[in-house]
Amino acid sequence: MEAHPPFSILARVYDRLMEDVPYEGWAEFVLAVLAGVGWLPRDLLELGVGTGNALLPFLRRGLEAVGVDSSEQMLRLARSKLPQVELLQADFREYRLQRRFDLVYSAFDSLNNLTEPAYLAAAFANALAHLRPGGWLAADLNTPEGLRELWREEVWEEDGVRLVYGYDPATRLGRLEAWVGEQVEVHLERGYTPQETRLLLESSGFESVFCLTYPHGGEPHELSDRFWVFARAPHHPQPAGA
Ligand SMILES: C[S@@+](CC[C@H](N)C(=O)[O-])C[C@H]1O[C@@H](n2cnc3c(N)ncnc32)[C@H](O)[C@@H]1O
């Protein structure tokens, strides 16, 4: 049977599966960390906006938002929920907006869908090109340890949805078969360590990179399954080619 693209058929049941996700807590955490470094964003760009859930807490706090996502089906749901928000169908590495933001935000390991470090670096470079000088990127990522633990060979099934997980430590790729009824789509995620994420951000031109765990804000350690990374755009961007 032919697999559908990621986040196409799953879109139909996505919000039901995400009922317990701490979108509000994540937004509060990120805004508190940014306030701690003296940055109060007025607008944001979300990478991997999905059905729009992670943007809602920011909109409630009065921030203006734009969202990018590659999935037409996820965006269709986001459009019905967030008619006031500009939503663009594009890849993390390829969108081009004629404006910059105070914050580029990416939640729920959306960036782990980039399965090569070079793809993640390209997404970081594109994010930097959409930040105002001194603006911040905040993103959460799964570590290899997290995928090994959370995506280990396991099957979860409920109300016609069947999720079949697997993880290959050699490639650091987690594989998820998501069945909705008789239809299936396959997701791949690569685990990234805080250290390599920091290096990719620095080589993409970001400064002041640091990683924290949610919700207590400690530094991630070698068994941390997930972490948030924060990185600042330079106050004085380098001219192209410098
Ligand atoms: C786990 S969902 C997260 C959605 C939303 N942020 C949330 O927290 O509910 C990941 C989203 O990233 C999008 N995505 C994955 N890879 C992408 C890429 N390379 N470019 C753009 N969007 C991508 C998917 O379509 C999906 O909607």
Higher pLDDT, 217 or 1: 217
Task: Determine the atom of ligand 1 nearest the C-alpha atom of 18.
Answer: 9
pLDDT bin (cut points 50, 70, 90) of residue 236 is: confident
Q: List the chain domain ranges.
A: 18-143+193-232
How far apart (Å, rounded) are the C-alpha atoms in residues 62 and 132? 19
Query: Ligand 1 mean position to 204 CA, how many Å?
Result: 21
Question: What is the model's pLDDT at position 238?
Answer: 64
Answer yes or no: are the C-beta atoms of 43 and 101 closer than 8 Å: yes
How do residues 58-114 score in pLDDT, each as one tens digit? Answer: 999 999 999 999 999 999 999 999 999 999 999 999 999 999 999 999 999 999 999
pTM of the model: 0.96
Average pLDDT over residues 45-64: 98
**Residue 221 backbone phi and psi in degrees, to 5:** -120, -175
How do residues 159-201 score in pLDDT, each as one tens digit? Answer: 999 999 999 999 999 999 999 999 999 999 999 999 999 999 9
Does residue 50 have its Cβ closer than 6 Å to ligand 1? Answer: yes
Query: Ligand 1 mean position to 236 CA, how many Å?
Result: 31
pLDDT bin (cut points 50, 70, 90) of residue 156 is: very high
Task: Determine the atom of ligand 1 nearest the C-alpha atom of 48.
Answer: 12
Query: Ligand 1 mean position to 110 CA, how many Å?
Result: 5
CATH number for the region 18-143+193-232 comes to 3.40.50.150
Task: Determine the atom of ligand 1 nearest the C-alpha atom of 14.
Answer: 9
Average pLDDT, the chain: 96
Does residue 57 have its Cβ closer than 6 Å to ligand 1? Answer: no
